Amino acid sequence: MNKPLRRIAIFCGLLVLALLVRDNWVQYVQADELKSDKDNRRVIIERYATPRGDIIVDGKSITGSKETSGSDFKYKRTYTNGPMWAPVTGYASQAFGANQLESIEDGILTGNDDQLFFRNTLDMFTGREKEGGNVVTTLNGAAQKAAYNGLKKQGGKGAVVALDPSTGAILALASYPSYDPSSFAGNSTTTDTEAWQKLQKANNDEDPMLNRALRETYPPGSTFKVVTAAAALENGLYTTADENTKSPLPWTMPGTTTELPNEGNIPCKNATLRVALRDSCNTVFGKVGSDLGNDKMLAEAKKFGFDEEHFTPIRSSASVFSDDMNPSQTALSSIGQFNTAATPLQMAMVASAVANDGTLMKPYMVDELQAPSLDPIEKTEPEKLSQPLSAKNAQILQSMMETVVKDGTGKNAQIGDGVTVGGKTGTAQHGENNSKNPYAWFLSYAKLSDGSSPVAVAVVVEDDNAVRDDISGGGLAAPIAKNVMEAVINSKQ
């Protein structure tokens, strides 16, 4: 071969090599980047080319897929009772993407998850159309309906979370006001975009797309006294529910000249923990927190799950109990004021741990992932999260919470028929100098005659239109909690 031909051959060989390197680089190194590129319309078209798998509650689908026309997206998502289930499902929109379960479990629902690889490969050879798998939730339909309808009837804003104390399974997760994910599931620049814009916080003061059960933190008010009582028992400050506490009346917060007030003329002087929880004595629990100190109160709050995010698998915001507080700030935080803030999920976890003899289970809402054939792919196993109380101290605290419902401010949660209810009411300050209507809270659990506890509930209600003097956890929130607990109990019979 003469020299010019050799040079041409070498040059062509280099071109072929460069082409092979580039081809492999694009196919393997850049594959994921190109696949997720917002301008790669083929991926989006493929996602909506087949019906999406479903999200399941009580063995029934609460989602579906509908064939569209006039678009290269063949199917769009539909929802049954969309506003009621939106805090669980989230949305899957051709125009605006997806969130919550629709996003987290997108691979299973679209059929693209690696766990479905062998099935998808087999379908390629058989010519069978690709299908999405299902997400089976832990939710209880009757409990969710009771929670959502209770909030809707009350009006205003609020949230409900119900847990199975023995497993951590989420039985209800409701937020109000809410939205219908079906209203913007397509990609119409008129109807879907218009519906989306109307739901955005900038255009809607109600902020209906906020998941108040998981993403909103509220001052928990007197419901936090359950945590403070647990800290008192766990640290040996008091060892029973019925010994007198060292709680003068009035009580001046350390380092200040400010007396911590109680609500009304209630018997709080040296009151026992039982009486103090029943009547919600600020002086008793404020002094308990101050006596224990910031470090011990913070340690107990963290055992209940404060100061960290939780993934159900939907992310829940971290609840807050502060560090580096002085004694008076610790006192205020120990009665659910100052910087203390909690999600409804967090306070349901508090009630759940007490009901479960001191063991806190990790909350979760996905029971099982299924292949399109309904074969199980992945099953969630209950997992212990922490041990905030010993069994002995948890049972002492149960007896105190049961007194609240039997003889105190939680009477509206009584069920009867052999069901024992423990609870704690709370009315939390809202706005600068408590200028706005307060938040009404209620924590509770139900215990059956066999000693088992199938449900623990947290309810928070924010009603700007209510008469201020009528707002109380026992008045607004306890009836909702009662209905949710009854729904769970009845569904197990």
Domain residue ranges in the chain: 221-366+385-491
Q: What is the pLDDT of residue 28?
A: 66
Give CA–CA dist 334/294, Å, rounded: 9
Asked if residues 175 and 211 have their Cβ atoms less than 8 Å apart, the reply is: yes
CA distance 248 to 270: 6
CA–CA gap between residue 453 and residue 348 (Å, rounded)? 13
CA angle 194/198/202 to nearest 5° reads 125
Give 239's contacts (C-beta < 8 A, 6+ positions apart): 233
Q: How far apart are CA 338 and CA 329, in angstroms?
A: 7
Provide the annotated active-site residues. 222
CA-CA-CA-CA dihedral for 229, 230, 235, 237, to nearest 10: 20
What's the whole-number average pLDDT of the chain? 89
pLDDT at residue 15 in the model: 81
Distance CA 405, CA 351 (A): 14
- The segments of the chain whose pLDDT lies below 50 read 430-435, 464-471
Cα gap 360→166, rounded to integer Å: 8
CA distance 474 to 478: 5
Distance CA 78, CA 54 (A): 10
Query: At the topology level of CATH, where does 221-366+385-491 sit?
Result: Beta-lactamase (3.40.710)
The SS3 assignment for 25 reads helix
What amino acid is encoded at 241 in this protein?
A: A
On whether the CB atoms of residues 321 and 298 are closer than 8 A, the answer is yes
Which pTM does this prediction carry?
0.89
Token pair 């709680």 is found at 247
